[in-house]
A and B are shown apart, each in its own frame.
Chain A
Amino acid sequence: MDDLDVDLRNETYRQFVALGRAPSAREVAVSRGLAESEVRAGWARLHDGHALVLDPEGEILMLNPFAARPTRFRVETGDRSWFANCGWDAFGIGASLGVDSIIHADCADCAEPLRIPVRAGQPEDLSLVFHVLVPAKSWWQDIGFT
Chain B
Amino acid sequence: MLLFRSEAHITTWLAGRMGGATISITRLAELANAWWADRLAPSWRPRSRAENQAILDRLGLTDSFWNLG
Contacts and interface: CB of A to CB of B under 8 A. Distances in A.
Contacts, number: 162
A4 interface: no
Nearest to B46: A1
A130 B68 contact: no
Given A128-B3, A129-B10, A131-B19, A6 B44 contact: yes
Nearest to B9: A109
Interface string B37-65: 11110101110000000001000000011
A131 B39 contact: no
Q: Say whether chain A's binding surface is mostly helix, strand, loop, or mixed.
A: mixed
Interface residues on B, range: 35 or more
A132 interface: yes
A96 interface: yes
A19 interface: no
Given A6-B44, A132-B20, A137-B69, A107 B3 contact: yes
